[in-house]
Amino acid sequence: MNSETPAPIETKNDAFDASFDIVARQDAQDEALATIRTDIEDVKGRLDKVGRAAIRPLLAGGAPTGAEMKGFVDGYLRHGRESELKSLSQSVAADGGYAVPREIDEVLAKRLAEISPIRSIASVVRTGTSGFRRLISIGGTASGWVSETAARPETASPKLAEIAPPWGELYANPSATQAMLDDAAFDVAEWLAGEIATEFARAEGAAFINGSGTSQPKGFLTGATSTAGDAARTFGTLQHIGSGAAAGFDTSPEAKLIDMIFALKAPLRQGSVWVMNSTTMATVRKFKSADGAFLWQPGIAEGQPNRLLGYPVIEAEDMPDVAAGALPIAFGNFQAGYLIAERRETTILRDPYSNKPYVQFYATKRVGGQLLDSDAIKLLKITA
């Protein structure tokens, strides 16, 4: 029995010692975790010391642009990786172009409204195809009085006219060096939107007024004009009022302007505006009535348009100057009188190959335009 006694005593000592080993291992693990936490805090402290000096600034003046814009700018505009762009595209053009992200497209639309005055006052529709058509009723319905038992002869039916605005492809092709694109402090989105918007606005603003209708919109000054009234004039022909002098205005210019107003049908006068360039505005602003009062009325508050005989004046530099045979002043309801049709998306194609070391951004937009209702716009023609 004495030889068997030490065995259980030794077993108990081993279990007791093992428990101390577990505690020791736990303490070692806690110490290791504490060391890791200390290292992490040390790294954070060093990053805080580095601060923003080591971090490249964001685009758009430091303002966050969203995941879609960031992926587009970093992945496609700067580095040309099409995988980022394809996942963001709303549609893929047949020629390999891709839809501009929504943020840039909204900037484009805003700039166009500010620079192109005709766009802001005309009727604008967005279509998915260039085959857009619109029907307009030009009247012709007749009626008659009869007695209770009299026969009812057939009356004339209303007539319709089809409006199919001519289309053209508007494009801009700005470029930048790859070095500029690699510098994140350079605002790629703002630069791209500003360049494209300026070019688009310049081109379409001129086309809506003087466009030929061949591979571009047809301007409202391009078609034929006549002195005939609405009832006698061919649909699609604008009415003009003569200025009374071969090279300018006669001694009573206010009378001609009043004639233009009342040549327009009463329902169309609501929402009508004057359209002229700044040179003509300088002349018209000096006009006075017979009692010496100026016809021009400055806006009564900031942001309010100037008025001529009670109607707002829109300044459009593509309108012609006062000269013999010119049409320097238009008056009418352009919402009813002129139609602008455009595709929904602006497309852009990044081209880093054609003109090294420049990266070109070929942007396109299909736009059409045409006179909609020839009764809704009246013109002043410099003629005796």
Domains of the chain, first to last: 66-138+158-216+341-371 (3.30.2400.10), 225-336+376-381 (3.30.2320)
Higher pLDDT, 146 or 308: 308
pLDDT tens-digit readout, 113-162: 667 789 889 998 888 766 677 766 666 677 788 888 888 887 776 666 66
- Report percent pLDDT > 70 for the chain: 66
Q: Which run of H or E residues covers position 265?
A: none
The answer to whether 336 touches 372, Cβ cutoff 8 Å, is yes
pLDDT tens-digit readout, 326-357: 999 999 999 999 999 887 667 778 888 888 88
Q: Which residues contact 227 (CB under 8 A, 6 or more apart)?
A: 239, 240, 241, 242
Question: In which band, very low, low, confident or very high, does the pLDDT at 22 lie, cut at 50, 70 and 90?
Answer: low
235's tokens: 């649909």
Residue with tokens 């360039």: 277
- Is residue 63 pLDDT above 50, yes or no? no
- Is residue 301 pLDDT above 80, yes or no? no
Which pLDDT belongs to residue 87? 39
Which pLDDT belongs to residue 86? 44
Torsional sign, CA 180, 183, 188, 191: negative
Question: In which band, very low, low, confident or very high, does the pLDDT at 303 lie, cut at 50, 70 and 90?
Answer: confident
Higher pLDDT, 253 or 112: 253
Higher pLDDT, 129 or 304: 304
- Is residue 275 pLDDT above 90, yes or no? yes
12's tokens: 């108990």
E strand segments, the chain? 98-99, 123-127, 134-137, 160-163, 167-172, 175-177, 225-226, 238-242, 273-276, 296-297, 307-308, 311-315, 329-332, 338-343, 347-351, 358-371, 377-381
- Is residue 322 pLDDT above 80, yes or no? yes
* 3-class state of residue 86 by DSSP: helix
Averaged pLDDT for residues 227-250? 90
Tell me how far apart the alpha carbons of residues 242 and 225 are, in angstroms, rounded to a whole number: 11
User: What are the b/e assignments for 339-373, b being 16+ CB within 10 Å?
Assistant: bbbbbebbbbebebeeeeeebbbbbbbbbbbbbbb
Which pLDDT belongs to residue 89? 36
First to last CA, the chain: 145
- Report percent pLDDT > 90 for the chain: 29
Question: In which band, very low, low, confident or very high, does the pLDDT at 360 lie, cut at 50, 70 and 90?
Answer: confident
> Mean pLDDT in the chain?
76
pLDDT tens-digit readout, 74-126: 666 666 665 544 433 334 444 344 455 556 666 667 666 667 789 889 998 88
Which pLDDT belongs to residue 92? 44
The answer to whether 374 touches 238, Cβ cutoff 8 Å, is yes
